[in-house]
């Protein structure tokens, strides 16, 4: 864990996180530029992409510099509130009853289709290229996000039970995603059925997938207000992705939170922005295709490592569940390196000496109307006694050996 295998896993996790976030930001930059083009006629060009990356990176640096409980938390909460508001707007402004029915139905579709889709590889080649460009890409993309998301959610979930952690991460988030895609997906289908080609034209026939959201919102009222709000939501989503990733990558590299100076976390945020810019500039004409190829390659080594991580997690949880809870144990200091681990392992437990032999614990017993404590007594601080002090033989305190802190008899 603290030797080279652990450091290698941390290094691979940093690389995977960097490219995973860079791919997300790269796709987001294309979507932001497309939204600006639809809203205000801003040209789609590499210089605009670089400007968007610069703004997002600078904002992420400011956010990560202010810490988890300030910049990251405030931006994340505000963005979730705006995203939920956008979803509610689509629900109320569109065919509300149809969208609600679709949301309910989607839970059943998901439950029945998931086992089949888990093993679907298009062996009959009925959809040429779809599995590679979508299924495999999202598989690799999710793996790249795995180390960062796992560490970050664990960090903000400190103090919660494993049951609550799993329920919140797998249950609530999955339910929200199902509702989100049900509402937006069915809303798009209803618009396309009413006006064939209004969405499939720019998105499918022209291949401008980054325009999908704004082409949908354009068909709804108040587009002049809702469109910029959607654009702001996308921008903040990627700001919070970079700043939280920079925080986690700093933890990967140091093994502890808030140990390195703030400039280190800012440096990680700048690094993600630089990788994103490189991916966009390397292939400006085929940006998405290049990004997809990169993320699939980067995700492969971590895909193999995650099998070992799953085995280690199951083994650790099994050992923890089978352990008999002990009333007393060693109290270790925070352990983040091999030396601290060795010191904790060699520290005797309370009630035992360094050789593992039990130490006779003091006890009180009542004898002839007085409480008796066998053995020596060490008192730290002042000792106030009312009445006479006698030893068990009736000698005076001076003769029985009451000593001061220096070992001298008083």
**Domains of the chain: which residue ranges?**
4-322, 363-410
The Cα 121–Cα 387 span in angstroms is 88
pLDDT of residue 285: 60
pLDDT band at 410 (very low <50, low <70, confident <90, very high): low
Task: Using a cut of 0.75, tell me whether the model's pTM lies above it.
Answer: no
Helix (H) or strand (E) holding 100: helix 96-118
Instruction: Give the Cα-Cα-Cα angle 126, 130, 131 (nearest 5 degrees).
Output: 95
In the predicted structure, residue 86 carries a pLDDT above the cut 70? yes
The Cα 60–Cα 55 span in angstroms is 9
List, in sequence order, every beta strand (DSSP E) within 39-175.
none
The Cα 239–Cα 63 span in angstroms is 8
pLDDT band at 312 (very low <50, low <70, confident <90, very high): confident
Average pLDDT, the chain: 81
> pLDDT (tens digit, 9 = 90+) per residue, 190-235?
999 999 999 998 888 887 888 899 999 999 999 999 999 999 999 9
Please tell me what DSSP assigns to residue 207: -
In the predicted structure, residue 258 carries a pLDDT above the cut 80? no
In the predicted structure, residue 162 carries a pLDDT above the cut 50? yes
Query: Mean pLDDT, to the nearest integer, of 103-130?
Result: 89
pLDDT band at 171 (very low <50, low <70, confident <90, very high): confident
Query: Mean pLDDT, to the nearest integer, of 22-38?
Result: 88
Instruction: Count the Cβ atoms, other than its own, within 10 Å of residue 163.
Output: 8
Instruction: Burial-class residue 361 by CB neighbours within 10 Å (0-12, 13-18, 19+).
Output: exposed
In the predicted structure, residue 247 carries a pLDDT above the cut 90? no
> pLDDT (tens digit, 9 = 90+) per residue, 149-159?
888 888 788 77
pLDDT band at 59 (very low <50, low <70, confident <90, very high): very high
In the predicted structure, residue 397 carries a pLDDT above the cut 70? no
Q: List, in sequence order, every residue forming a beta bridge with 358; answer none if it has no partner.
A: 352
Q: Which of 144, 137, 174, 157 is nearest to 245 (CA)?
A: 144
Q: Which residue has the higher pLDDT, 402 or 148?
A: 148
pLDDT band at 51 (very low <50, low <70, confident <90, very high): very high
Q: Which residue has the higher pLDDT, 161 or 374?
A: 161
In the predicted structure, residue 288 carries a pLDDT above the cut 60? no
pLDDT of residue 396: 45
In the predicted structure, residue 398 carries a pLDDT above the cut 50? no
State whether residue 407 is helix, strand or coil.
coil
Query: Mean pLDDT, to the nearest integer, of 269-298?
Result: 76
pLDDT band at 386 (very low <50, low <70, confident <90, very high): confident
Instruction: Give the Cα-Cα-Cα angle 380, 385, 391 (nearest 5 degrees).
Output: 90
pLDDT of residue 346: 77
Query: Mean pLDDT, to the nearest integer, of 101-117?
Result: 93
The Cα 26–Cα 383 span in angstroms is 70
pLDDT of residue 331: 60
Q: According to DSSP H, which parts of 67-203 are helical?
A: 73-93, 96-118, 130, 137-156, 162-166, 173-194, 200
What does the DSSP assignment read for 23-59?
HHHHHHHHHHHHHHHHHH-----HHHHHHHHHHHHHH
pLDDT of residue 46: 86
Give how far Cα 386 sits from Cα of 92, 377, 394, 400, Å. 79, 18, 17, 18
Query: Mean pLDDT, to the nearest integer, of 257-274?
Result: 86
In the predicted structure, residue 105 carries a pLDDT above the cut 90? yes
pLDDT of residue 317: 80
**229, 35 contact by CB (below 8 A):** no
pLDDT of residue 400: 45
In the predicted structure, residue 320 carries a pLDDT above the cut 60? yes
pLDDT of residue 217: 93
């Amino acid at each position: 864990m603290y030797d080279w295998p652990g450091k290698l896993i941390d290094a691979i996790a940093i690389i995977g996180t960097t490219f995973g976030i860079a791919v997300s930001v790269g796709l987001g930059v294309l979507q932001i530029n497309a939204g600006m083009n639809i809203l205000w006629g801003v040209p789609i060009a590499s210089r605009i992409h670089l400007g968007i990356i610069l703004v997002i990176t600078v904002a992420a640096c400011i956010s990560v510099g202010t810490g988890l409980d300030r910049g990251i938390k405030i931006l994340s909460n505000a963005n979730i509130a705006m995203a939920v508001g956008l979803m509610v707007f689509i629900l109320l402004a569109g065919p509300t009853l149809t969208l609600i029915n679709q949301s309910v139905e989607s839970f059943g579709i998901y439950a029945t289709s998931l086992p089949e889709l888990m093993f679907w590889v298009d062996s009959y080649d009925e959809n040429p290229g779809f599995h590679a460009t979508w299924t495999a890409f999202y598989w690799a993309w999710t793996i790249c996000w795995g180390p960062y998301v796992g560490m970050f959610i664990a960090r903000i979930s400190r103090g919660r039970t494993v049951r609550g952690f799993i329920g919140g991460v797998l249950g609530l988030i999955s339910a929200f995603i199902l509702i989100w895609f049900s509402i937006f997906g069915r809303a798009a289908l209803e618009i396309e059925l009413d006006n064939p080609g209004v969405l499939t034209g720019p998105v499918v026939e022209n291949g401008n997938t980054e325009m999908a959201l704004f082409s949908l919102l354009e068909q709804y009222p108040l587009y002049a207000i809702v469109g910029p709000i959607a654009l702001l939501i996308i921008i903040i989503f990627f700001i919070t992705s970079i700043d939280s990733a920079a925080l986690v990558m700093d933890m990967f590299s140091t093994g502890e939170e808030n140990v390195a100076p703030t400039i280190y976390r800012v440096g990680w945020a700048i690094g993600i922005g630089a990788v994103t810019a490189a991916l966009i500039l390397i292939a400006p004409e085929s940006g998405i295709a290049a990004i997809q190829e990169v993320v699939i390659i980067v995700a492969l080594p971590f895909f193999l490592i995650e099998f070992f991580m799953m085995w280690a997690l199951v083994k650790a949880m099994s050992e923890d569940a089978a352990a008999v809870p002990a009333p007393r144990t060693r109290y270790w200091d925070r352990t983040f390196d091999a030396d601290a681990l060795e010191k904790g392992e060699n520290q005797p437990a309370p009630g035992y000496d360094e050789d593992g032999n039990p130490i006779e614990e003091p006890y009180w017993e009542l004898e002839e109307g007085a409480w008796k404590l066998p053995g020596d007594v060490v008192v730290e601080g002042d000792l106030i006694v009312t009445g006479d002090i006698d030893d068990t033989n009736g000698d005076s305190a001076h003769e029985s050996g009451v000593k001061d802190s220096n070992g001298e008899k008083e």
